Amino acid sequence: MRTSANADSDADARHLLRRIGFDPGPLGDEPPESATMTVLIDREVDRAAGRRQAATPPPDWVGEPVELPFADQGLDEQARRELRRKWMRRYGELQAWWLREMLETPAPLAERMTLFWAGRFTSSYRNVRWGQLLYRQNAMLRRHALGCYDQLLHELIRDPAMLLYLNGQQNRKNEPNENFARELLELFTLGEGHYTEADIRDAARAFTGAKLSPPQGDVELKARQHDDGRKTVLGKSGNFDGDDVVDIILGQPRAAEFVVENLWREFVSPQPDAGAVKALAAGFRRDWRIAPLLKSLLGRPELLTQARQGTLVKSPVEFVVGTARQLDLPTTPMSLALAAGRMGQRLFDPPNVKGWPRGEDWITSEWLLQRRQFVLALAGDLPTPTDEVDDDGPGTKEPGMRKAAKRPMRRQGLAVQRRFGEVGEALPPRGPELELLAFAPVLPPVEGAKPPDRLQTWLLDPVYQLK
């Protein structure tokens, strides 16, 4: 354990890194060379902005052609079962791919921002069914995660997974399907109260005719199915297409505020400061560049005062990835993806179009107990969870995985426990909990506890849920 004259700023660096990435680690390491907060923020944002694609190689099937419809109709029972098995296996591979990137990335903020957008501009493997398209959407979101918001929206309206998820395929001239247009205005860009039903109707008409074209799966505009009549959207009239609607949305002052408020809730505090949001939004809408916005937002003094009080709740993904990173545990990406799923956050499968729960909604009796189970298993106080997971998650109950996978999972579980014990033993007698927790634990210390038990107690502490 280092003794530093800069103890306060070391602690603040940890607060910051925990807020904008995953728990900083490994535990006991030097923090970034006594840099000022501004330097640290710039470094993290620049690093994330420069990482426009994942380094982890994707599953080898992401380039496979896409056919529509997803053909499970008309197959016999046997073929259906096999298709379903393949589908679930691929779901697991996709989750593990993203989780590995989160574990290994030197730019955690890039992952947090990708996750942020994936939780806002939602699509689910369950409905989209083509893993290729979900991968492609993830690559698109991460390419623009800290790039330009206007470009991100223009990409979003031609994203094939989004097209399938929100019924864009069924949106035709004279038979509009409003699903995408409604969510675009309500959940993605402006929020309730900032548009009318008439805006949705005409915006939906502007998006008509987009079709996914196999086998590459690109979205193309079919002129014959596109409604090229006059539309009125948010006070503007003309023969609009989807790109025009995006530009009209971006012309609304609310558009920038909406993004800033959501980023504020993600990184700063549960209640955005209205004045600060307006000021940040005014700068943001000039060029829609996300990285400079983030630098200003993360530099707000509230971020640190709130972080020292731990006013935000870690999401399940932050909880498991942060734990594995800071304790440098040899866990597999798949086991962590499953664990996060049991706590309520399945990657590539948000529960509905609103995305995953946020903030305090993560705190339910079931999910809190799952977090507890996860920590107990790290220390070997539980059998390692294997394949029994909730009953409605694709990829979580893969048949055939049971027997074959149990032995390696057990071996891996033992390696994790060994490492957990080592980290626990190596901790100094005094003070390491303040590197793990936003503030002092609320659970009373266990008298005479062995070092690994002390470590476990801190990870079980309510404060460990907070950041």
Partner 1 sequence: MTIPLSGPFSGSLSRRDCLKAAVFSSLLSVPGTGALAAAQTGPRRLLLIELNGGNDGLNTVVPYADPLYAKLRPRLAIPRDAVLQLDEHMGLHPELAALMPMFQQRELAVVQGLGYAQSNRSHFRSIEIWDTATDADVIGQDGWLSRIDPQQQFGRRFAADAVVIGRNPKPASGDDMQPVVMTDTRSFVSESRGVQALEASSENPALRRILAVQRDIESAGHALTAQRPQPAGEFPQGAFGRDAREAARLLIGDPATPVVKIALTGFDTHAGQLGRQQALLRQLGDTLAALKTAFTAAGIWSDVLVLTYSEFGRRVQENGSGGTDHGKAAPHFVLGGRVRGGLLGEAPALAKLDDGDVTPTLDYRCLYNAVLGRWWAAGEAQIEPARYRALDLLRA
* Of 236-244, 329-337, 352-360, 422-430: span binding partner 1 (CB under 8 A): 352-360
Is residue 170 within a helix (H) or strand (E), and if so which, with residue range?
A: none
* Of 94-102, 247-255, 351-359, 428-436: span binding partner 1 (CB under 8 A): 351-359
The DSSP letter of residue 186 is I
Contact 425/452 with Cβ under 8 angstroms? yes
Minimal distance in Å, beta carbon 320 to partner 1? 17
Task: Kindly state whether residue 434 participates in binding partner 1, applying the rule CB under 8 A.
Answer: no
Which burial class, exposed, middle or buried, applies to 83 when counting CB atoms under 10 A from its CB (0-12, 13-18, 19+)? middle
Task: Kindly state whether residue 354 participates in binding partner 1, applying the rule CB under 8 A.
Answer: yes
Which burial class, exposed, middle or buried, applies to 455 when counting CB atoms under 10 A from its CB (0-12, 13-18, 19+)? buried
- Contacting partner 1 within 55-114 (CB under 8 A): 77
Most distant CA atoms of the chain, gap in Å: 77
Asked if the bond preceding 69 is cis, omega within 30° of 0, the reply is yes
Minimal distance in Å, beta carbon 367 to partner 1? 8
Distances (CA, A) of 251 to 28, 89, 121: 48, 43, 20
Residue 108: closest CA among 54, 176, 161, 153? 54
Near partner 1 by CB under 8 A: residue from 37, 139, 221, 466: 466
Minimal distance in Å, beta carbon 445 to partner 1? 13
In terms of CB distance, is 294 or 353 closer to partner 1? 353
In terms of CB distance, is 59 or 385 closer to partner 1? 385
How many Cβ atoms from other residues are within 10 Å of residue 305's Cβ?
A: 13
Minimal distance in Å, beta carbon 133 to partner 1? 18
Task: Kindly state whether residue 408 participates in binding partner 1, applying the rule CB under 8 A.
Answer: no
Minimal distance in Å, beta carbon 460 to partner 1? 8
In terms of CB distance, is 331 or 456 closer to partner 1? 456
Residue 189: closest CA among 254, 266, 265, 273? 254
- Contacting partner 1 within 362-401 (CB under 8 A): 363-366, 368-369, 372-373, 390-392
Distances (CA, A) of 465 to 19, 88, 244, 315, 459: 12, 30, 43, 8, 8
DSSP, collapsed to helix, strand or coil, labels residue 188 as: helix
Minimal distance in Å, beta carbon 11 to partner 1? 18
In terms of CB distance, is 72 or 104 closer to partner 1? 72
Minimal distance in Å, beta carbon 365 to partner 1? 5
Kindly state the tokens that stand for 337: 């993806």
For binding to partner 1 (CB under 8 A), which residues are involved? Answer: 77, 126-127, 270, 309-313, 351-354, 359-360, 363-366, 368-369, 372-373, 390-392, 442-443, 462-463, 465-466
